[in-house]
Amino acid sequence: MLAMSGGVDSSVAGALLLEQGHEVVGVTMRLWGGESDSGCCSVSDVDDARRVAQQLGIDHHVFNFGTEFAEQVVNPYVQAHATGITPNPCIECNRHLKFHHLLVRADVLGFEAVATGHHARIVQRGESWAVARGADRAKDQSYVVHMLDQSAMSRTLFPVGDLTKSDVRGIAQRLGLRTASKPDSQDVCFITADGGRRTFLGDRIPLRPGVVRTTTGEVVGSVDAVELVTVGQRRGLTLSGAPSRRFVLEVDVERGDVVVGSADDLLRRTERLDDITWATGPVEGEVLVQCSAHGPANPAVLRCDGTGEGVTLEWATPQRRIAPGQSAVVYSLDDNHVLGGGRVAASA
């Protein structure tokens, strides 16, 4: 079962699987029934996937997972903002939809494996599987599929993981696929360019003004909606008497308070992680940790609690604080294999 988003990567993944002799059926998940002008949920994306399937000569089906998407991605996204947490809906979509519900559907229908167009690799390390970085580091997506467990990895294929993006587009052009020059989707599929987060969230939760204070309690400004403010933010703050750039250090939605400080104030030595998933089991000691989809992986030391469900991360050198709710993904010291990952907790 090939998950087809309507983009060039999953299109070429299908072509490669056919060249390798697999019997392939394309499926597109219809996730968001509301307004969408970007991402992977628009009507045109579904149409592109269907037409590429026709070009490849494979069957194509559309699965409606709208209820599951609302319950496990959209509603938690809204609730996170309501409590001052910065969610990562694309990771949650991978966790719950692509690598849970889709795998369950594949098992029910008798498919041996699920393939996607992610730029990552699945490799065997001894008797276990691991997610590894894609060949194209600039397009590497191992960060967003870090949550895969052994069962999922054993029956998931990433056919373009060994290729660069230019290789992928070259193959698509050679085969005349309609998605060969299609731009990559960059945005959250249920947030429109015109309305943005403010309109989407404002239609679902009350957005309340907040007061901006310094670390000493001095009031220096205000924000229109404290629910839209995130740790590390610099732009969009109306501040008075600021001699230098100020960054958001804390967000307290309940009190309507935003605390700002200097870039140095934003630095932290430790972070607390929860909701941990491990590739094979809890890891402690020296590792590399990446905190955004295409950010650097920095050296750190992990210390687990007794259950392995909570982790303290200590940076080798202080790093800018990560917005609570974002994912911190743990890599091996060779910066290649995913060892696990978790969400940054609201307090260290």
Burial of 178 (0-12, 13-18, 19+ CB in 10 A): middle
Chain Cα centroid distance, residue 133: 15
**Could you confirm whether 189 is annotated as catalytic?**
yes
| pLDDT (0 to 100) of residue 348 | 53
Enter the tokens of residue 230.
């995130």
- Please state, as a whole number, how many other Cβ atoms lie within 10 Å of the Cβ of residue 336: 16
Closest CA to 131 of 312, 280, 19: 280
Exactly one of 90, 93, 291, 304 is catalytic; name it.
Answer: 93
Q: Which domains does the chain have, with CATH numbers?
A: 2-175 (3.40.50.620), 206-261 (2.30.30.280), 267-344 (2.40.30.10)
Q: Identify each DSSP E strand in the chain by its residue range.
A: 2-3, 26-30, 60-64, 114-115, 120-125, 128-133, 156-157, 210-213, 219-223, 238-239, 247-252, 257-261, 267-278, 285-290, 297-304, 311-320, 327-331, 338-344
| pLDDT (0 to 100) of residue 108 | 96
One-letter amino acid at 295 equals G
| pLDDT (0 to 100) of residue 190 | 86
| pLDDT (0 to 100) of residue 337 | 96
| pLDDT (0 to 100) of residue 163 | 98
One-letter amino acid at 336 equals N
Exactly one of 40, 41, 90, 189 is catalytic; name it.
Answer: 189
| pLDDT (0 to 100) of residue 38 | 57
Helices (H), 176-249: 196-202
**Residue 187 CA: distances (Å) to CA of 18, 48, 49, 72, 233:** 30, 18, 19, 18, 18
- Could you say which residues of the chain have pLDDT below 50? none
| pLDDT (0 to 100) of residue 279 | 95
User: φ, ψ for residue 89 (rounded to 5)?
Assistant: -65, -30
Helices (H), 239-344: none
| pLDDT (0 to 100) of residue 317 | 97
| pLDDT (0 to 100) of residue 237 | 80
3-state helix, strand, coil in the chain (%, to 5): 30, 30, 45
Distance CA(69)–CA(310), nearest Å, equals 27
